[in-house]
Structure 1
Amino acid sequence: MAQTQQLGQQLGPFVAVDPVVDRMRALRSAWHPADGVAVFNRVYLTVTEEIGHAIEAGTFEDRRAAATLDVRYLAAVDSLAGGGPAPACWRPLFHYRRHPGVRPLQFALAGINAHIGHDLALAVVDACRDLECAPADLEDEFDRVGDVLVLLEERIREELMPGPDLLELADPLTHLLGCWSLDRARDGAWLAARSLWQLRGLPELAGEFTERLDLSVGLVGRMLLTPLTRP
């Protein structure tokens, strides 16, 4: 946990993504490629690298806002490694990471669901506090990050589930993944961020809202990780 906290201190308003990238590359080397968390880690690493390239290329008007990355996924990794709990939104991914009946694409999307549905919403609120602005001031950067995620989701689906063909149309995985939408997850995250910002003066209610958000995103993640083949 100390290592993640140190990363968080480095990820201030003028953050560099290099420390996060280095950490995820180290995890990629340490974990077996078939590990479900390793599958998501590779996806998240790609996302972080793509956003870093976009920042360097000047894609984002406000570099500070676009570069304010959260490290809650890494905090969950550290917490579990130290024998502690993970947030509810991340528990299904870690619990099913070695289940032989869950396919790689399910692991990837379950992690993306936790990152966008829960972590990204909280990251927007944290960024607003750090930059002393309102969520509306970060909406353009939020949308640009979302555009990168959409392109990467399409690439991930193509790499981990080629097709479609007649057999894949009948595959339960096709129907399961049709129940989840990255666009809807982004919309929900933005609404959650705006709601939490409005609740910042009511800490008890904001805490309850955050807890419910964590649980509901975890429930969706559990659905995405439904085993589809026999062990």
Structure 2
Amino acid sequence: MRSLAEFTGEVSSIPQVVTALSAIRDASAEDLFQPEIDGISAFTRLYTIITQNVLDTVDRKKTRRFNDPDFLTRLDLEFARRYLAAIKAYQSGSPDTPASWSVLFDRRRDQDIRHVNFAACGVNAHVNFDLTFALIETWRDFPPNDARREDYDQVNDIFAEEMDELREDFGAFLAETRDGGILDRFGNFASDLVVRVTRSWAWDSAVDVWDTYDPDQDGGGQRFQNAYARELGAQDRAASLAGRMLLGAPTLP
């Protein structure tokens, strides 16, 4: 099986992120004759689609507009770097691999797990663990304000745009009902609600840590560093537990 670490180098633009994700998506599944499912490929396929939509918005290929595209670009890069770093750590056998990601990586070739469960587990790790700290790193140069929160929330609309097709692509349970029917629409609504709630929670958690940040002290100050470390550990533990539950769920809507 090809090492994915070769695709985890530094990224400095959203196109580079899309290229790296596409390479990971394809390389992680290139030996798939049997087994047929790879969890890294499943999640990265979803992640590539969403990132491409963000890129199209930044490049004004969509009617949607961001107030501060530089902020969204930086956030997208910080977000992606955490995923790439998790893959690199895992591939090297590092004990620094976050527990929330190890849940997915360790069972990536378990053929009893469906694509939709792998995708949901990856979204859980990336949103319920990575996103808070990607925001904090971004805020060092782009401090939070109402306009940037509005841009952040617009990413929820990107998920909503892609939700129906993603659920069909990954074989979600309710997506297999009549397209556009009440059960299909309920599945889209429930999935969209989860994205909006968890992304809002990630922002609020980042604000709680950011409120302890002192720009006049190295590293933001000891109080900030302590708050950061506590939140990092708590979120990793919570996301790893949620990830195990998602992988073991008999079906997802």
* TM interval, short-chain normalised: 0.7 to 0.9
Does residue 65 of structure 1 match 2:71? yes
Matching of residues 14-53 of structure 1 within 5 Å: 16-32=13-29, 34-53=37-56
Show the counterpart of 1:77: 87
Q: Which amino acid aligns with 2:51?
A: T
Which of the residues 189, 195, 212 maps onto 1:182?
195
Offset of 1:137 from its aligned partner?
4.9
CA distance in 2, matches of 1:3, 1:73: 11
Which of the residues 150, 154, 157 maps onto 1:147?
157
Offset of 1:77 from its aligned partner?
0.8
Gap runs ≥5 in structure 2? 179-186, 214-220
**Equivalent pairs, count:** 210
User: Cα distance 1:100–1:182, how it changes in 2: closer, same or farther (>3 A)?
Assistant: same
Q: Quick check: 1:135–1:194 contact (8 Å CA) kept in 2? A: no
User: Cα distance 1:154–1:113, how it changes in 2: closer, same or farther (>3 A)?
Assistant: farther
User: Cα distance 1:151–1:219, how it changes in 2: closer, same or farther (>3 A)?
Assistant: farther
Q: Deviations over 1:191-231 (max 9, x none)?
A: 111112113341223211221011111211111000649xx
Q: Secondary structure at the match of 2:100?
A: coil
CA distance in 2, matches of 1:140, 1:196: 20
Q: Secondary structure at the match of 1:51?
A: helix
User: Cα distance 1:207–1:137, how it changes in 2: closer, same or farther (>3 A)?
Assistant: farther
Q: Which amino acid aligns with 1:20?
A: V
Gap runs ≥5 in structure 1? 11-15, 166-173
Show the counterpart of 2:231: 209
Q: TM-score under structure 1 normalisation?
A: 0.81
Offset of 1:134 from its aligned partner?
2.6
CA distance in 1, matches of 2:249, 2:115: 11
Q: Which has the higher contact order (CA 8 A, sep 6+)?
A: 1
CA RMSD across the alignment:
2.4
Matching of residues 96-111 of structure 1 within 5 Å: 96-111=107-122
